[in-house]
């Protein structure tokens, strides 16, 4: 603790790198500001996706309700799914990763700060384009999975599907660029001594997810571009009446779509693997098992896509293979759960709000995992698929799991990011309200599903036995909204009036707690040297170092002594640390891509006018690229960072 405070106290010069005010945000290349922009925009999208869900729940609260028209309802569930997957959970994870990963590995920024800025702008623009569709003839209404041939122009004539294609495409480019950035950053920019086997598990999971992303996302991008060509330029990839194949779309979509599930959940498993040890005052139990089970899940995630297609009629052999592969995923998942339990076992559990959420994650994720077992079994799956049972299962994994994990991460790292503590009392109230209302919303869906209620229906008739379950779900969802509003209130008030956060409020073990809250723009005045998986605890509790990793070599302890000697040297003056300069180039490039995107959407219908827009977009892009290259040219010869 003493060293952390000293670090925070001595190094807090004014932030000389950012422009003031809005300009500072629009031109930033600082991974921390970009992380915050990801978190804020993704949280706004999370609220919007939540409102869409509430509208659906109100519609389904009673049978034969007429609150929403069928088409609006179909737009709602399409946008809810698309928003929560692409614009909320994914970027919330990316935002936390963007902020925390460089700090955790002792780096001063991401490997490619301007590419990082391009990612955030493409993400925001992609999300906004998706929502522009509401004002351009109607949002997409074909489901987030967009099954062919319902997406063909003859069945879905509005431009909503085109906005969906371009919006998803832009966020996809943002994600792929971001993933490459994470991979290069994590592999190349770790502090001296931080071997892969000493890397925090959150960083491990972000690394695994980045690899999943670069293999999974291009498949979706290709499929959506094929779809765009089907809709506007006369191809017939997915149109069976003219020789295309509707099932091909499903293979392509789920080859992306299932790994996507792990893109959503693995980072939050990483969060849990940081939060649980910190608040148990113990190291993670079985570090290697936890890390490698994450790798195994990422790998197996590519072998199970057809379990979304058991009712498609692929044949018993294919179904058996994909069923067996899906069962296999239960093994590494089970390993993680038991290792987390063992981490808590005989610990000294500090039940903070973050810890509440981490424990809630385990509890709810287990339920989602168990309900997943029956879905992995092809014969049972064909009763449960496309019913509300799946809606229940998927929300236990993605809300009870991923969202609760993200809440754990936000309560854990909010002090680091803002310099203020969130209100713990309010946080715990919110946790319990959320846990109860979450279960009230989603548990009854298991039952309505098993009683034959299909998904994606805007209405149902009375007398099917679904009324009670739906009413409970609707009540639960309203309470859930209150819980989310409590969190919003907590954030807004804590930002102004919250207790000032010290550098290391939780007695953390990883490097982000070694710097002030919030950290200076360059993160570390002196890049730290790492001797173990818990570098900060090595400094705070040197006597515990003895009991550290069983395989520690004495040479490394020698290194620790030398490092401590280095630590006492005065820090380097801030001006001497080279950081990437702010630039508008990524924003300009992204805006150009946006204009190009609008042109593409209307090229088939408007012809020349759209082509002109595309040309303008290309010119703006060219401007962005030129200014980008010039800055790079000025920067690079002088400093290596």
Which parts of 64-83 interact with another protein (CB under 8 A)?
A: 69-71, 74
The total of other beta-carbon atoms located within 10 Å of residue 547's CB is 10
- Of 486-515, which residues contact another protein (CB under 8 A)? none
CB of 509 to another protein, least distance (A): 11
Rounded to 5°, angle at Cα 504 from 501 and 507: 130
Give which of 120, 133, 157, 138 is closest to 40, Cα–Cα: 120
Q: How many residues bind another protein, per CB under 8 A?
A: 99
Rounded to 5°, angle at Cα 380 from 378 and 384: 110
- Give whichever of 188 and 350 is closer to another protein, judged by the CB atom: 350
CB of 33 to another protein, least distance (A): 35
CB of 476 to another protein, least distance (A): 14
The token pair that represents 196 in the structure block? 């892969």
Per CB under 8 A, 453 contacts another protein: yes
- Give whichever of 155 and 489 is closer to another protein, judged by the CB atom: 155
- Give whichever of 416 and 540 is closer to another protein, judged by the CB atom: 540
CB of 455 to another protein, least distance (A): 7
Per CB under 8 A, 316 contacts another protein: yes
Among 450, 493, 581, 627, binds another protein (CB under 8 A): 450
| Rounded (10°) CA dihedral 546, 552, 553, 556 | -80
Among 460, 513, 522, 602, binds another protein (CB under 8 A): 460
- Give whichever of 25 and 292 is closer to another protein, judged by the CB atom: 292
CB of 58 to another protein, least distance (A): 16
Q: At 502, give phi and psi (nearest 5°).
A: -70, 175
CB of 371 to another protein, least distance (A): 8
Please give the Cα distance from 41 to 484 (Å, whole number).
16
- Give whichever of 288 and 615 is closer to another protein, judged by the CB atom: 288
Rounded to 5°, angle at Cα 607 from 606 and 608: 110
- Give whichever of 147 and 229 is closer to another protein, judged by the CB atom: 147
Burial class of 185 by CB neighbour count within 10 A (0 to 12, 13 to 18, 19+): buried
Burial class of 479 by CB neighbour count within 10 A (0 to 12, 13 to 18, 19+): middle
- Ordered DSSP codes for 502-568: -S-TT---SGGGGS-SSPPTTS-SS-----SS-HHHHHH-GGGGGGS-TT--HHHHHHHHHHHHHHT
Please give the Cα distance from 11 to 6 (Å, whole number).
8
- Give whichever of 157 and 607 is closer to another protein, judged by the CB atom: 157
Positive or negative torsion for Cα 70, 75, 79, 82:
positive
- Give whichever of 374 and 581 is closer to another protein, judged by the CB atom: 374
CB of 551 to another protein, least distance (A): 10
CB of 576 to another protein, least distance (A): 39
CB of 73 to another protein, least distance (A): 8
CB of 274 to another protein, least distance (A): 16
- Give whichever of 134 and 443 is closer to another protein, judged by the CB atom: 443
Per CB under 8 A, 138 contacts another protein: no
Among 547, 553, 626, 632, binds another protein (CB under 8 A): 547
CB of 380 to another protein, least distance (A): 5
Per CB under 8 A, 143 contacts another protein: yes
Please give the Cα distance from 431 to 605 (Å, whole number).
50
- Of 335-394, which residues contact another protein (CB under 8 A)? 335, 337-339, 341-342, 344-351, 359, 362-363, 366-367, 370-371, 373-374, 377-387
Rounded to 5°, angle at Cα 376 from 329 and 151: 110
Interface region with another protein, contact rule CB under 8 A, candidates 84-92, 107-115, 447-455, 558-566: 447-455
CB of 370 to another protein, least distance (A): 4
- Of 272-311, which residues contact another protein (CB under 8 A)? 280-283, 285-289, 311
Please give the Cα distance from 132 to 599 (Å, whole number).
14
- Give whichever of 496 and 543 is closer to another protein, judged by the CB atom: 543
Per CB under 8 A, 58 contacts another protein: no
Q: 454: helix, coil or strand?
A: strand
Per CB under 8 A, 424 contacts another protein: no
Region class of 148: left (phi > 0), else alpha (psi between -120 and 50), else beta = beta
- Give whichever of 355 and 591 is closer to another protein, judged by the CB atom: 355
Per CB under 8 A, 550 contacts another protein: yes
- Give whichever of 30 and 556 is closer to another protein, judged by the CB atom: 556
Per CB under 8 A, 237 contacts another protein: no
Per CB under 8 A, 235 contacts another protein: no
Q: At 387, give phi and psi (nearest 5°).
A: -115, 175
Q: At 149, give phi and psi (nearest 5°).
A: -90, 15
List C-alpha distances in Å: 411 to 130, 265, 458: 30, 18, 36
Q: What string marks each residue from 318 to 337 as x (binds another protein by CB under 8 A) or -? A: -xx--xx--xx-xx--xx-x
- Give whichever of 444 and 624 is closer to another protein, judged by the CB atom: 444
Paired strand residues for 500: 420
Give which of 467, 471, 472, 411 is closest to 439, Cα–Cα: 472
CB of 143 to another protein, least distance (A): 5
Among 544, 572, 618, 625, binds another protein (CB under 8 A): 544
Interface region with another protein, contact rule CB under 8 A, candidates 137-145, 207-215, 260-268, 424-432: 137-145
Q: 626: helix, coil or strand?
A: helix
Contact in structure between 419 and 500 (CB atoms under 8 Å): yes
- Give whichever of 40 and 324 is closer to another protein, judged by the CB atom: 324
């Amino acid at each position: 603790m003493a060293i952390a405070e000293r670090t925070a106290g001595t190094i807090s010069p004014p932030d000389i790198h950012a422009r003031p005010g809005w300009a500072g945000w629009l031109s930033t290349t600082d991974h921390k500001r970009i992380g915050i922009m990801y978190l804020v925009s993704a949280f706004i999208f999370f609220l919007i996706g939540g409102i869409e869900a509430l509208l659906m729940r109100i519609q389904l609260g009673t049978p034969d309700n007429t609150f929403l028209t069928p088409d609006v309802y179909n737009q709602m569930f399409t946008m809810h799914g698309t928003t929560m997957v692409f614009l909320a959970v994914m970027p919330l994870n990316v935002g936390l990763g963007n902020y925390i990963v460089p700090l955790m590995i002792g780096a001063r920024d991401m490997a490619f700060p301007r590419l990082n800025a391009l990612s955030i702008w493409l993400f925001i623009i992609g999300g906004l384009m998706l929502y522009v569709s509401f004002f351009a003839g109607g949002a997409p209404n074909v489901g987030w999975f967009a099954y062919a041939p319902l997406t063909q122009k003859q069945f879905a004539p509005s431009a909503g599907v085109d906005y969906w294609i371009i919006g998803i495409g832009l966020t996809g480019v943002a994600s792929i660029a971001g993933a490459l950035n994470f991979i290069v950053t994590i592999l190349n920019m770790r502090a001296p001594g931080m071997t892969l086997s000493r890397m925090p598990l959150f960083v491990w999971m972000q690394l695994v997810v980045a690899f999943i992303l670069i293999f999974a996302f291009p498949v979706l991008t290709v499929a959506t571009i094929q779809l765009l060509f089907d809709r506007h330029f006369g191809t017939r990839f997915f149109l069976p009446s003219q020789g295309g194949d509707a099932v091909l779309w499903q293979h392509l979509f789920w080859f992306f779509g299932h790994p996507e599930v792990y893109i959503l959940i693995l980072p939050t498993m990483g969060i849990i693997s940081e939060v649980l040890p910190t608040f148990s005052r113990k190291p993670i139990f079985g570090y290697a098992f936890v890390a490698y089970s994450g790798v195994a899940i990422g790998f197996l995630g590519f072998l199970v896509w057809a379990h979304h297609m058991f009712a498609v009629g692929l044949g018993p052999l294919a179904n058996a293979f994909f069923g067996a592969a899906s069962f296999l995923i239960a093994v590494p998942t089970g390993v993680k759960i038991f290792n987390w339990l063992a981490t808590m076992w005989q610990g000294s559990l500090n039940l903070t709000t973050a810890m509440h959420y981490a424990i809630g994650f385990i509890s709810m994720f287990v339920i989602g995992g168990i309900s997943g077992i029956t879905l992995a079994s092809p014969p049972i799956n064909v009763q449960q698929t496309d019913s509300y049972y799946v809606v229940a299962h998927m929300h236990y994994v993605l809300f009870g799991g991923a969202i609760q994990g993200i809440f754990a991460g936000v309560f854990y790292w909010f002090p680091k990011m803002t310099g203020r503590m969130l209100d713990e009392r309010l946080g715990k109230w919110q946790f319990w309200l959320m846990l109860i209302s979450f279960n009230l919303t989603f548990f009854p869906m298991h039952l309505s599903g098993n009683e034959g209620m299909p998904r994606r229906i805007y209405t149902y008739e009375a007398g099917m036995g679904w009324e009670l379950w739906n009413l409970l779900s609707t009540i639960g969802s309203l309470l859930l909204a209150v819980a989310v509003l409590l969190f919003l209130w907590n954030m807004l008030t804590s930002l102004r009036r919250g207790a000032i956060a010290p550098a290391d409020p939780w007695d953390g073990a990883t490097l982000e707690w070694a710097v002030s809250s919030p950290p200076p723009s360059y993160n570390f005045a002196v890049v730290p040297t790492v001797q173990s998986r818990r570098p900060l605890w090595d400094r705070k509790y040197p006597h515990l170092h003895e009991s550290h990793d069983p395989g520690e070599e004495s040479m490394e302890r020698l290194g620790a002594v030398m490092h401590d000697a280095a630590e006492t040297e005065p820090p380097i003056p801030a001006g001497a640390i080279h950081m990437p300069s702010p630039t508008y180039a990524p924003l300009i490039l992204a805006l150009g891509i946006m204009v190009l995107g609008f042109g593409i959407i209307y090229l088939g219908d408007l012809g020349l006018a759209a082509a002109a827009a595309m040309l303008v977009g290309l010119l703006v892009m060219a401007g962005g690229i030129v200014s980008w290259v010039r800055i790079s040219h000025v920067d690079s010869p002088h400093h290596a960072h």
